[in-house]
Structure 1
Amino acid sequence: MVTKLKRFLIGRPMKSHELANEKLSKLKALAVLSSDALSSVAYGTEQILLVLITMGAVALWYSIPISFAVLGLLAILILSYRQTIYAYPMGGGAYIVAKDNLGTTVGLVAGGSLLVDYILTVAVSTSAATDAITSAFPVLHEHRVIIALLMILTVTILNLRGITESATILMYPVYLFVFAVFLLIIGGIYQWMTGNAHVQPPVYGAAVPGITLFLLLRAFSSGCSALTGVEAVSNAIPNFREPASKNAARTLIMMGFILGAMFIGISLLAYVFGIAPKADETVVSQITATVFGRGIIYYFIQAVTALILFLAANTAFAAFPLL
């Protein structure tokens, strides 16, 4: 009975020669390795606003320059990891690069920090997914821990079945999420340009009494949570089909363009519609409700957002063992 249940959940054991069939195409790799990075736009802007709101709503305009600073850092990371991919075709994560150039001790510190980061990625992604669900259905707020644990269990089973199967499953929600976010951005821009945004945003450039450089840097560092998972592609080059380095580099560039456009789009909409963070509703939920109302499109975007955040934990499952 136990054996039959195991086979049903994770499939039969794979032979060594079947490993080649587990290699990923660019489209599948973008799904399985970029889900963490792409999904982070659901909470990256919110993390900036959570810091700024401590100085009052007048300080929320700082989210725009901070978001562009994060976007600049993303460009630097993408270009750096692209070079790393070609320099370390067997997988060039922070551990290998630091070890080869700065010594074993520094390499172990970098590798150890990434291992911790991957574990926290699972926690943050599933928690954010739970927040997206409870924003749409507040009655589930008291059950958020159970919901998060069930998510982790499901992703674990998916990965035990094999990386190709998990990538095939991941493709659909990842690309649905990208479509949903761009739909939200286009809809928000339309509402703003047609004068339907009836909320007065914080005055850009307004003086904020008591604002400090430390607080702005704190907001910037919080906003950098939108960059989580960018390194996964360079860590997982052996998972790509040949030519592995070329395919990995192209996947990284695609991910960078999509991530940057979605992140800056969400940040601009949050400013235009005067969105402030709430304890019981995410920023993305507030923007969606403002642009489309709480109808079918709202629940579609919330559902896809929750699903991609739930599956974003898969990046850790894919890259952690290789690291």
Structure 2
Amino acid sequence: MWKYVKKVLIGKPLKTNNTGSQSLNIFKALALLSSDALSSVAYGTEMITTALLAGGAAALWLQLPIAGLVLILLVAIALSYVMIIRAYPSGGGAYAVASQNWGHWIGLVAGGSLLVDYMLTVAVSAASATDAISSAIPEIHNFSLLISIAIVILLMLMNLRGLRESANFLMVPVYFFVAAMIVMLLIGFVRLGLGH
């Protein structure tokens, strides 16, 4: 029974020689690597605005400088990804890169901080997604906790299959989000140009 449930939830076991290096094409890699930054973009603006509103409406002018700093941070992260990919073409996580360049203890700090970051990102993203869903469909607000738990379990099952399968799953929502953001910006610029 357990083997059947496991096979339904996470699929057939991968061959041992297929689990090590899972190369991704650029579209899958972008969907996988950018999902953390995109999830921050999705709810970060709302949280910044909420925090600034606590300081009064006059504090809202700080949104543009903060957005500029976030953009600089995203560019720095993208450039560091490019440098790491060039230096470690066969793969190099935070632990491996930090250990080889700065020593074992710094590698442990980098690896541990990423583990904490991933857990917090999942928790905040699940809570944000639940808030968005329950604000769109107010009737399910009482089930917010169950929805958050279901999202966390879905992410866990998705990641148990490895990078390639996670990237396949993430491609649709990530590229849909990017397209929606581009359309929203274009509509905003057109309306601004027309004086609305």
Q: Give the equivalent residue in structure 1 for 2:48.
A: 48
Task: Give the letter for the 2:133 counterpart.
Answer: I
Deviation at 1:17, TM superposition (A): 3.9
In 1, Cα distance between equivalents of 2:19 and 2:61: 51
Partner of 1:126: 126
Partner of 2:34: 34
- Structure 1 partner of 2:142: 142
Q: How much has 1:174 moved relative to structure 2?
A: 1.4
Partner residue, 1:318: none
Query: For 1:175-214, what aligned pairs fall within 5 Å after superposition?
Result: 175-196=175-196
1:103 aligns with 2:112: no
Alpha-carbon distance in 2 for matches of 1:141, 1:17: 45
How many residue pairs match? The answer is 196
For structure 1, which segment, 91-100 or 34-43, has the greater mean C-alpha deviation from structure 2 after superposition?
A: 91-100
- Structure 1, residues 61-101: CA drift from partner, whole Å, max 9, x if none? 11101211221222223223322322233444443343333
Task: For 2:12 and 2:88, locate their aligned partners in 1 and report how far apart those are by CA, in whole Å.
Answer: 33
Letter in 2 for 1:44: G
Which residue number in structure 1 is paired with residue 72 of structure 2? 72
- Alpha-carbon shift at residue 19 of structure 1 (Å): 4.3
Rounded Cα–Cα distance in structure 1 between residues aligned with 2:129 and 2:192: 28
Q: Which residue of 2 aligns with 1:174?
A: 174
Comparing 33-42 with 16-25, greater Cα deviation is found at: 16-25
Classify 1:93/1:10 alpha carbon distance in 2 versus 1 (closer, same or farther; 3 Å): closer
* Structure 1 residue identity aligned to 2:3: T
Residues 158-216 of structure 1, C-alpha deviation per residue, up to 9 Å, x if partnerless? 333444333222212211111111111112222233233xxxxxxxxxxxxxxxxxxxx
User: Would the alpha carbon gap of residues 79 and 108 (structure 1) be closer, same or farther in structure 2, given more than 3 Å must change?
Assistant: same
Contact 1:9 1:161 in 2 (8 A): no
Q: How big is the shift at 1:153?
A: 1.2
> 2:168, 2:38 → 1: CA distance?
17
Decide whether the 8 Å contact of 2:21 with 2:90 is kept in 1.
no
* Structure 2: segments with no counterpart, 5+ residues: none
Q: Measure, in 1, the Cα distance between the counterparts of 2:132 and 2:7.
A: 33
Task: Give the residue type in structure 2 aligned to 1:157.
Answer: L
Percent of residue pairs identical: 51
Alignment deviations for residues 214-253 of structure 1 (CA, whole Å, 9 cap, x no partner): xxxxxxxxxxxxxxxxxxxxxxxxxxxxxxxxxxxxxxxx
19 and 111 in structure 1: CA distance in 2 versus 1, 3 angstrom threshold:
closer
Q: Which amino acid aligns with 1:149?
A: I
| Cα distance change, pair 155–74 in 1 and its aligned pair in 2 (3 A) | closer
Q: 1:78 to 1:11 in 2, by over 3 A?
A: closer
> Which structure would you say has the larger RCO, counting Cα contacts within 8 Å and 6 or more residues apart?
1
* Structure 2: distance between partners of 1:64 and 1:75: 16
Aligned AA (2:188): G
Q: Label 1:49 to 1:94 Cα distance change in 2 as closer, same or farther (>3 A).
A: same
Query: Normalized against structure 2, the TM-score is what?
Result: 0.86
CA separation in 2, counterparts of 1:111 and 1:63? 32
Given that 2:126 and 2:151 are in contact with CA atoms closer than 8 Å, whether structure 1 keeps it comes out as: yes
Deviations 1:89-146 (A, max 9, x none): 3444443343333332233222211111111111011111111112212232232111
The structure in which a higher percent of residues are helix is 2
Instruction: Indicate if the aligned counterparts of 2:35 and 2:174 stay in contact, CA closer than 8 A.
Output: yes
Q: Distance in 1 between matches of 2:21 and 2:93?
A: 24
1:289-304 equivalence runs, <5 A: none
In structure 2, what is the equivalent of residue 303 of structure 1?
Answer: none
